[in-house]
Amino acid sequence: QLSSRHPRADAFPRVGPEQSASDNKRFLSESLQMIEEGYSKYKDGSYKLWTIDMDRLIISHKFMSEINKLPRSSVRLTTSERYAYTGMDICEESNLQYEVCAGPLTRNIGPLGRTAYDEIVFALNEKLKTVPKYNGMLLSAILRPAIDRCYRLILNTPLHLPHRPRDQFHSSRFVGPDLCRNAEWLSTATGYTMDVQKASEELLTYPSLVRPIVVNLLKSYKQLRSRFSVASRLLLPEFEKRNRAKNQNEKGEYQDMLQWLVDSAQGRDAEPEKLVRRMLFLNMAAINTTAITATNVFLDLCARPECMEMLREEILRGLKEDGGIKSSTLPKLKKLDSFMRESRRLNTMGFLTFQRRLTVPFTLSNGTTLPKDSYLSMAYYPFTRDESYYPSPLTFDPLRFYNLRQKEGEEDKHQFGSVEASEPLWTFGKFACPGRHWATAQIKLLVMVLLLEFEISYPEGQTERPENKIIGNKCMPSMTQKIVLKRRAS
């Protein structure tokens, strides 16, 4: 229900200190304690929490369905606040990034499966050529090129390769180096995301009043601007060319993210400079999130060697039934899907989710009015360890969600990519991550390649996964963990 009432600013209880010069950064080191305290006191309600960058109103995930009734224009992403001066505020100008992912990207996942599998194999083989022995390689160094390569399939293809006839495209075994010959664009695409994070973290260390000045002096922002120039130099002509074709009603020559953006953009969204920024936003939303989630899955797999054979059998059965990777193959991997979801449950990337700004006041069904301009968030981490939602919440049960799907009527629920009003995994409804099906497919394909082509393990003597690292709202897997790959006899 929309409301015009403005509650008093102090109407909500607070956890932790208010924003203050002396105690501003307490959240950095005590985030988990504060979020757990908030959950134990106000699990079904709301409270305020200062999180270094903003004063948030933490609300229960139980209100997701109610908030979903608001238009997206009233519940905005908080990117412009969290990543100020990075150009990422483009996502707040319209929902174009959502539309291209939820629409054409998702529709194209099935047909891309085989090609993506080959790209991952190719990336791994290239990587393995650079080390004399397949012994104790950094997990992140293995996964990153494979994910980048998958991602380039949808984002970067057009820079180098005209659209191929469908059959040829899908049957090509190694679509190969042509696809990503432009090293400059590739390093810009991935580097931009890192720089955005780094630059915004650096800016946060300065008082908000001086940020507009300091931003011009910071090295990290200079680096960001120069990356943006490279991205513009490479992408602008491509967008201009495609816009011309669109304006002349020519049929699109390509099937890729650039084309989907051009096809879907209306009005000012279609300006080439804005399309470049939108591409960079999509990079940021997609690559790191997928890489971190996949890293967690492999860290959990190596800690449970007994699950590898079970998953390998499921994969081989699926491939046999389908005669290779078809659109129907990935959804068949239900045990793997369950493993991935359990891994994500116990390794949430952030303690909070649904980072949104409310542009209208809104009254919840419990009578609480959320003021206009509140920065909303939901506590995710304590939810995933709440016994009332997950029996034995601290136990890693690889088949937890698989077993739930065995119940009548529940077969299609509890999936890695499922969106449920009771679960803030991807948030909900029109606010849910629109790239989740592509992320699911990529991670499944990565596991398939690594399990079918290799024996994987922790280095000798290690059986446990390394601890995650907590920094403020973030919870990151180890980036220094090595894993051992041994090629399986074919």
In the complex, minimum distance from the CB of residue 125 to ligand HEM, in angstroms, rounded to a whole number? 24
In the complex, minimum distance from the CB of residue 282 to ligand HEM, in angstroms, rounded to a whole number? 6
Burial of 141 (0-12, 13-18, 19+ CB in 10 A): middle
Q: Compare residues 12 and 380 and give the one whose CB is closer to ligand HEM.
A: 380
96-133 exposure pattern, b = at least 16 Cβ within 10 A, e = fewer: bbbbbbbebbbebbbebbbbbbbbbbbbbeebbeeeee
Indicate whether 193 belongs to the interface with ligand HEM (CB under 6 A): no
Spatial strand order of the sheet with 454-457 comes to 137-138, 482-487, 454-457
Indicate whether 434 belongs to the interface with ligand HEM (CB under 6 A): yes
Supply the DSSP string of 196-263, one letter for each residue: HHHHHHHHHTS-GGGHHHHTTT-HHHHHHHHHHHHHHHHHHHHHHHHHHHHHTTPPPS--SHHHHHHH
By CB under 6 A, name the one of 38, 382, 435, 472 that touches ligand HEM.
435
In the complex, minimum distance from the CB of residue 424 to ligand HEM, in angstroms, rounded to a whole number? 8
In the complex, minimum distance from the CB of residue 177 to ligand HEM, in angstroms, rounded to a whole number? 23
Q: Which stretch binds ligand HEM (CB under 6 A): 7-15, 165-173, 203-211, 280-288?
A: 280-288
Indicate whether 353 belongs to the interface with ligand HEM (CB under 6 A): yes
Q: Which three-class secondary structure state does DSSP give residue 455? A: strand
Indicate whether 355 belongs to the interface with ligand HEM (CB under 6 A): yes
Q: Which stretch binds ligand HEM (CB under 6 A): 241-249, 349-357, 385-393, 394-402?
A: 349-357
In the complex, minimum distance from the CB of residue 488 to ligand HEM, in angstroms, rounded to a whole number? 27
Nearest CA-CA partner of 195 in 87, 290, 89:
87
Indicate whether 295 belongs to the interface with ligand HEM (CB under 6 A): no
In the complex, minimum distance from the CB of residue 434 to ligand HEM, in angstroms, rounded to a whole number? 5
Subset of 309-328 contacting ligand HEM (CB under 6 A): none
Indicate whether 383 belongs to the interface with ligand HEM (CB under 6 A): no
Q: How far apart are CA 394 and CA 350, in angstroms?
A: 17
Nearest CA-CA partner of 474 in 16, 17, 31, 19:
31
Nearest CA-CA partner of 395 in 387, 404, 403:
387
Q: Which stretch binds ligand HEM (CB under 6 A): 93-101, 266-274, 386-394, 469-477?
A: 93-101
By CB under 6 A, name the one of 34, 59, 84, 101 that touches ligand HEM.
101
By CB under 6 A, name the one of 58, 84, 90, 91 that touches ligand HEM.
91
Q: How far apart are CA 475 and CA 472, in angstroms?
A: 8
| Tokens, residue 390 | 């997950």
Report the 10 Å Cβ neighbour count for 201.
16
Tell me whether residue 180 is annotated as binding. Answer: no
Q: How far apart are CA 5 and CA 359, in angstroms?
A: 13
By CB under 6 A, name the one of 108, 223, 243, 289 that touches ligand HEM.
289
Torsion of CA 151, 157, 158, 164, to 10 degrees: -130
By CB under 6 A, name the one of 431, 445, 446, 472 that touches ligand HEM.
431
Q: Which stretch binds ligand HEM (CB under 6 A): 80-88, 140-148, 284-292, 302-310?
A: 284-292
State phi, psi for 25 to the nearest 5 degrees. Answer: -105, 15
In the complex, minimum distance from the CB of residue 222 to ligand HEM, in angstroms, rounded to a whole number? 27
Q: How far apart are CA 88 and CA 203, in angstroms?
A: 15
Q: Which stretch binds ligand HEM (CB under 6 A): 209-217, 261-269, 305-313, 429-437?
A: 429-437
Q: What is the largest CA-CA distance in the chain?
A: 69
Q: Which helix (H) or strand (E) holds 9?
A: none
Subset of 407-426 contacting ligand HEM (CB under 6 A): 426
Q: Compare residues 49 and 218 and give the one whose CB is closer to ligand HEM.
A: 49
- Degrees to nearest 5, angle at CA 311 with 144 and 463: 70
Q: Compare residues 345 and 400 and give the one whose CB is closer to ligand HEM.
A: 345
Q: How far apart are CA 431 and CA 419, in angstroms?
A: 10
Residue nearest to ligand HEM (CB): 435
Subset of 437-466 contacting ligand HEM (CB under 6 A): 438-439
By CB under 6 A, name the one of 137, 433, 445, 447 that touches ligand HEM.
433
Please report, as ranges, the residues that interact with ligand HEM according to CB under 6 A: 77, 91, 95, 97-98, 101, 105, 282, 285-286, 289-290, 293, 349, 353-356, 426-427, 431, 433-436, 438-439
Binding residues for heme, by number, are: 433
